[in-house]
Structure 1
Amino acid sequence: MPLSWAVFASFLLAAAGYVIGRSRAFATAGPDVRKLHSRPTYHGYSVALTALLPPLAVLAVASILRMAGVLSDSAGPVAGLVALAAAVAGLAWGVMRVGQQFQARNAVERMVLGLLMLCSLIAIVTTAGIVLSLVFETGRFFQLYDWKTFFFGTEWTPRFQGNSQLGIVPLLWGTLYISFIALLVSVPIGLFAAIYMSEYATRRVRSIAKPAIEVLAGIPTIVYGLFALITVGPLLRDYFAQPLGLGNSGSSVLTAGLVMGVMLIPFVSSLSDDIINAVPQSLRDGALGLGSTPSETVRQVVLPAALPGIVGAVLLAASRAIGETMIVVLGAGASAQMSLNPLEAMTTITVKIVSQLTGDSDFNSPETLVAFALGLTLFVITLGLNVVALYIVRKYREQYE
């Protein structure tokens, strides 16, 4: 039996167990349902969970063992039959437990609590696995390549035949440069939009403007990248770069930064809007009562009160910009260089991670393992930004909530 069939059969048995357990509870109680310790619905949930959880556990263990190579693919039907047998046994045990004195509600709450703890554990283990894989592969890379040259080298010229120069400095420069331009676009526009929607817009205008802005967050990044490649890049090249003699390419830092900034507007706007709305109304009323105008109230009372949260929103947007790939690939090019000219093509760490792992690569060569070192570096940067942002937001919440 294929594992997918076993999963489907387990859910069918769980659904049947709910109906059977609820009906049996009614039959046990007779005309007075109050004789039951728990409501019949909880009895149904209890039977359903006892029929569903054991086969899911069996299938999860079987999948992990297959990925680890302990079980072969031919063992799949056997695992499916074992899971189906566990479902039937759980269904029978759950039905047998139904009775007037059975504390079904407590049993369901314990099983749900265990399930929630398991989900939390899976998230933690997954995060730990990602970090450990990056650390181990990065350690292999630094056994083959000097870490000083990697962190302080200013040339990025990977050659799979050997003699590669794998300095991260030009990649880090391009990442920070593009992210800086993106924040220059997104922070003022997003913040001013949040101020308007929270302090000046009518309820009708806000109900239209806020969803319209948040539509930008739902556009796939590949669409933004195509927009940068087809529209923004040629426009900057024809009307700025070539007339000013600053370049002839449609791919540039400014192209990627502008488009990425547009993508980040809803992140800054939505977070800032929520933070500004969280400022107590009493602060506004006090300022207005002392004779301040609405604009003075916003400038001298609301924004200073909301500033820690706004800074946290900006840092979260910065971490989002640093990790962007598709817009950079199509808008900024793939040239690893250091320049102050925003109309020249550059690249970022994420782009080079993709390029180093694309194609038939030898995972024992430094040219491939460098992708893990780049990933770990990017992870540390974004983790630091997220930690700072969460610290600032938490401090803000403790102060005003």
Structure 2
Amino acid sequence: MAKEIKKIVLAYSGGLDTSIIIPWLHENYPGCEVICVAGNVGQDSEIVGLEERAKKTGASKLYIEDIQDEFVNDFIFPTLKAGAKYEGYLLGTSFARPPIAKRLVEIAKKEGADAICHGCTGKGNDQVRFELTIKALAPELEIIAPWRIWNIKSRDQEIEYAEAHNVPIKITRETNYSKDMNLWHLSHEGLDLEDPANEPQYNKKGFLELGVSPEQAPDKPTYVTIHFEKGIPTSLNGEKMDGVKLIKTLNKLGGENGIGLFDVVENRLVGMKSRGVYETPGGTILYHAHEVLETICLDKETQHYKYGLAQKYADIVYNGQWYTPLREAMDAFVDKTQETVTGDVKLKLYKGNIINAGVTSPYTLYSEDFASFGEDDVYDQTDSKGFINLFGLPIKVKALLDAERNNK
């Protein structure tokens, strides 16, 4: 390699990609030390046995960093408050990468590393998210992306490499879905899903991990009441909870009721379309509840303007531009809008559906007196005539002038 590199910090998940990267780094950077870092953003079960696997494969040490609280409070909740969705789905992998990359930078500086390495493919979005964060927080560090320089071209070839180098892996060629798990969601890509004509096998054993299909959900609905303080969910069914516990609890309740399945062909940042299936049970409930609460807490102009901002916010998160001045400025606007988004939202979960069951807020802008179809003393209906005359004046003038021109 062009530059001498003695110590590398590797973003390590224990999956196929990052497992074979360790021996590959030793082969291509002779004498280098490889330090693995696993950022726990909610994939608890995948953390088990990581240290033994990393060291057996050639790493000198493994950091397992629990960053779930930071993930929720500094990344999930700001995105939730913004109402950001990318092409209809809730951003799961997108906002999990910046906090992981941030921790990679912190450990790289602590260890005096020369470079940070990741296992993202050259076709995906995650390479951008990792590298933009590293560039923002540690522009002096080298970035190594094996998928962009090695000769391996497919996951089958990865498995062959692992077998040849005695790297322990947990998948086979037959169960080779590409999955990404965190506290917020689970994504599925690859195999039969690569053809958009194929229906996802929701009822196939082992496909869904966070819940069941709507057909398999109970015939009895489940009610939940979520309390928000300034746009942030703080309690569930009257019990105060921190963000991590609240999301995990809603994941269980939502998953049991078939909530949060989303099948989409999305536009990747790198220019191609890709098909993915997402499980986001708790997040889907929270987004729905937050949107319901905003309908009574935000005035029309703010609510409508925020829709446009939500789309731009989603693009920023999806594109890996978290550490940018624009995202910080947008957060300032969103936080201002959330000052009155406090209240309770009751929802009914039933076979994949989320049904509104009531909403209250001390800052509500809804007045039954004004909205009532019955008799009231606060609205003079005759006032509407003058309003309509002025509001419709441009339409009337144009019609009159068009008629006059046509007559000539």
Q: For the superposition of Structure 1 and Structure 2, which TM-score range results when normalised by the shorter chain? A: under 0.3
TM-score norm. by structure 1 comes to 0.20
More strand per residue: 2
Structure 2 length-normalised TM: 0.20
Pick the structure with greater CA Rg.
1
